[in-house]
Structure 1
Amino acid sequence: MTIVIILAVIILDQITKHLAIGLKKGSIKLIDNFLSLVYVENRGAAFGILQGKKIILVFFTFLIILAMCYYLYKSQSSMATISKLSISLIIGGAIGNLIDRVFRHYVIDFISVTFPNGYEFPVFNVADIAVVCGTFLLIIAFMKTDDFEELQ
């Protein structure tokens, strides 16, 4: 199950990023004044931090992916489904953005949300969604399961 989820996230992320390249010609409004698709090249991490620090981002992302894969491999047989799902989503999303950083030297972001008060949330992509959803599920898993007791 975990490998399927990881691969599904990576494939969906890369397909949508490939399609997003077509947005260089112009954005698409999906929900007026709220949701649109735009093309953005993010050369940093979340919210654009660490701009131009590709080597640091690649190195730490790779280490985190390795650590999570190792933990998942060692503990998978005794883990609850929510724990496996959360870690798989995070790994898949991290690999999706890592692929961009290594091969494109930037991450393609394309989902733009503007709130009613005018605040424009930083543009994001499918890999980011997987990492955020995985993180929320991981928090729930920390609270509801014993899967991570040895880490505490």
Structure 2
Amino acid sequence: MKKFLALIWVIVLVIIDQYTKFLAKTNLENQDSIAIIKGVFELHYLENTGAAFGMLQDQILLFVIITIITILMILYLYSRIPYEKHFTPLRYILIFIIAGAIGNCIDRVVNRYVVDFLYFKLIDFPIFNVADCYVSISAVLLIILFLFHYKEEDLEFLNLKKVDKHE
């Protein structure tokens, strides 16, 4: 039942991502940017055929393969996490990362590009989308969790064995 709820969360998050991209394509394509906060934040339509910051343009097959491998690794990790309240934040973070990966992968397969539309003009940050937010924010939270919340013994479910350099 808990795995089913995780799947439902992933589906809902992917639908939200895809809907925002649909709205962006429908309302922003072939238009000037729309200032939400003048000089700070804009909606600006962009078709990105690359990865983050426009790297690796037109490498769709590579992105799809990397996405599938990443999702499989995360699903394996997710399946090993104990069903304890202590690990709930980790579970949610992995759900968001999977949803973000799927959301952008759908764009790459269907459109051959990813729809980006969120732009922080104040710092000239590269244009991004909701799926990117899922992945980026989750990655930061994951780092924070591992630095400040989880201890080494909490991660025994991973079966990571230390190699004693003195043996």
TM-score (norm 1): 0.89
Q: Give unmatched runs, 5+ long, in structure 1.
A: none
RMSD of aligned Cα (Å) = 1.7
Q: What letter is aligned with 2:12?
A: A
User: For the residues of structure 2 that align with 1:76 and 1:60, how far apart are their CA atoms?
Assistant: 26
| Aligned match of 1:97 | 104
Match of 2:63 in 1: 57
Aligned pairs, number:
149
> Which has the larger share of strand?
1
Deviation string, structure 1 residues 25-76 (Cα, Å, up to 9, x no partner): 3121111011111110000111111111111111111110111012112325
Counterpart in the other structure of 1:84 = 91
Distance 2:48 2:30 in 1: 18
Given that residues 100 and 106 in structure 1 are in contact (C-alpha distance below 8 angstroms), is that contact kept between their aligned partners in structure 2? yes
Cα deviation code 1:60-110 (max 9, x no counterpart): 111101110121123252461111111111111010000001111100000
Distance between the aligned counterparts of 2:72 and 2:82, measured in 1?
Answer: 15
Percent identical residues: 40
Stretch moving more, 50-59 or 76-85:
76-85
Checking the alignment, whether the CA contact within 8 Å between 1:88 and 1:134 is kept in structure 2 is: no
Structure 1: distance between partners of 2:118 and 2:22: 13
Report the structure number with the largest CA radius of gyration: 2
Q: Which residue of 2 aligns with 1:67?
A: 73
Q: Report the equivalent of 1:140.
A: 144
Show structure 2 runs of 5+ residues with no match: 162-167
After superposition, where does 1:23-34 map in structure 2 within 5 Å? 23-26=28-31, 27-34=33-40
Tell me how far apart the structure 1 counterparts of residues 10 and 43 of structure 2 sit (CA, whole Å).
Answer: 24
